[in-house]
A and B are shown apart, each in its own frame.
Chain A
Amino acid sequence: MTSSLSDVANAATPRVPGSRALGTGLEARGIHAWFGKHHALADVSLDFAPGTVTALIGPSGCGKSTFIRTLNRMHEFIPSAAMAGEVLLDGKDVYAPGVDVTKIRLQIGMVFQKPNPFPSMTIGENVLSGLKLAQLKTENKDDLLEECLERAGLWKEVKDRLGAHGGSLSGGQQQRLCIARALAVKPQVLLMDEPCSALDPGSTLRIEETIRQLSETMTIVIVTHNMQQAARVSDYTAFFLSDGGPGHMIEVAPTTEIFSRPKDKRTEDYVTGRFG
């Protein structure tokens, strides 16, 4: 990963947050996560300003995927899971008693590692599936469909075959379909858990373009193994590490800084490819 430093020159400078974005961002305070007795993540506090892209990097098993799943409460699907800390969306704790978890997940969308369109639905139905699942009303389905596919960069490729099944698309197209699906419910925040790890380089580039465009209107958190990708798409980068014990965050800084003058020696070792 020696080339990562050369990417720094091309990395975007951090934008002034909040100009056109929806909502007021997301804030994680003192997040811990457990699987049964196993303490997987310790004391992560991280601020996601509206309209920014934050990349979470770090070696496998450092808890970055676990962390991202605590943000939209997907963590709790593991039977033995437990957590501590607060996740504030618009200043309100998403884990507070009496919060409707389905509403939280509508506001914090998620794109998974492997594209997972619903196999029984057509392309069009897939995009609008979130509306159907949560029984949301919309005035004009066709406009929304076009808008979401347009923003996900897929409209031109599929506009003539919206009735085809999602499975008929290529892997990269399927992943953009999943992004379009997440956009249709108009989330403020989009979580992406290694969205390109199952894709070829060409598709990866298309998705990165999409991420840059989406960041104009929403807050994005992306977990990635690929440091060039972090450098290319993100405004901020957080480095996670597990040294035997629970994973924790070593440092967070504007992406240019992380890749040019990291404060921590371990971060430097990782971004320069000395380990990981």
Chain B
Amino acid sequence: MSEVKPTAPWKASKRDRIRDGLIFLATALFTFLAVQATPLKGKLAYFVLFFISYAIATGVLSFLKYGYMSAKDSAVKVIIAAGGILTVIPIASILATIIQKGYKGIKPNIFTQDMSLATSTDPLTNGGLLHAIIGTLLLVLVALILSVPIGILTALYLTEIKGRFTKPIRFLVQAMSGVPSIVAGLFVLSAVIYPITKANSGFMGSLALTILMIPTVARTSEEVLNLIPQDLREAGTALGGTQWRTVAMIVLPAAKSGLITAMILGVARIAGETAPLLLLTGGGDRVNGNPFNDPMGSLPFYIWKSFSAGSEEAITRAWAGLLVLVLLVLILFTTARFLSTRKVTR
């Protein structure tokens, strides 16, 4: 018997691909000429015209070849792909803008100086965002310390205890994830600042961030804990372990990297949160290592303040701050991704 080669006759052949490419190019050319020749103008005109004419072109071709249903199928395919591209355009634009504009504001001095001796409108060589970076790190750290135990306990309740409150709690956690950040800010203002401390501080900001972070930690942890095989728990109990020991020595260690992912995703959620910090932290311009006293700066506050100042230097400062903030969020996000793609156990 001679060797038979596997083939995939349903895949596009070379000829098909060349034909598709030619249609694509022809449509692009047509779009270009049409925009040049008619009063239509702008990126929007290019985009809309290209996809409409491409959908029509492939549709007509399929119609000639296979008929009406196939024509509809091809045209819809183009429209759906256009929807996909529409999603990617803003992301690409945001990343491009942030790098292009923020890059100019990245000077060595901004990582070593704060704004106590400078104003937003000063040249970029004066002042920096050291206080903001330190502030954000401290705010996030305190929020992390407060929210992780609560979040993981909530997840443990949902996965290990499964008591009669399971359904309502799952519902409430979901509801809590929809709490507008400004409401969290107002709540801390009304419940802590006005009756008790009467002063802004970094800790107040962390309290609001904690409220926003708990649902993310709780829901991700719940998903992770649900992935731990049930027999692992049963093995623990069968060996005579109490539930507490089984959870502490078997379940939680097995879910370790997943729980770290949950924490990181929670941090990514709150690191750029702005609204409550505007109400609560006071937003100082000086490096402040004490979250419990005195106003505390943070990256979002710094960006907000610079952006509001409005001069060219100030806007560049805002973009540089955004670049630093987004890099921070992306690093966290990538780490979380990396950890969560590994196996849950070990």
- A residues engaging B (CB < 8 A)? 30, 32, 34, 42-43, 73, 76, 81-85, 95-98, 100-103, 134-135
Contact = CB atoms under 8 A, between A and B. Distances in A.
Contacts of B1: 43
A82 B6 contact: yes
Contacts of A81: 8
B8 A134 contact: no
Contacts of A101: 10
A30 B69 CA distance: 32
A84 B4 contact: yes
Interface in B51-86: 65-70
Contacts of B13: 97
B9 A100 contact: no
A102 B68 CA distance: 12
B9 A102 contact: no
A134 B70 CA distance: 9
Q: What 9 pairs between A and B have smallest CB-CB spacing?
A: A82-B6, A95-B9, A100-B66, A76-B10, A34-B6, A84-B4, A82-B8, A32-B4, A135-B69
Nearest to B13: A97
A27 B293 CA distance: 85
A101 B12 CA distance: 13
Nearest to B72: A135
A134 B65 CA distance: 16
B15 to A, nearest CB: 8
B20 to A, nearest CB: 14
A83 B9 contact: yes
B4 A30 contact: yes
A200 B68 CA distance: 42
A32 B67 contact: no
Nearest to A39: B6
Interface in B1-37: 1, 4-10, 13, 15-16
A84 B69 contact: no
Nearest to A35: B6
Nearest to A133: B69
A84 B7 contact: yes
Nearest to A85: B4
16 contacts: A34-B6, A43-B1, A43-B4, A76-B8, A76-B10, A83-B6, A83-B7, A84-B5, A84-B6, A84-B7, A95-B10, A96-B9, A97-B16, A100-B66, A100-B70, A102-B69
A32 B69 CA distance: 31
Contacts of A134: 69
B67 A83 contact: no
A85 B136 CA distance: 65
Q: Could you say which of B7, B15, B16, B68 has the most chain A C-beta atoms within 10 Å of its C-beta?
A: B7
Interface in B191-231: none
A199 to B, nearest CB: 32
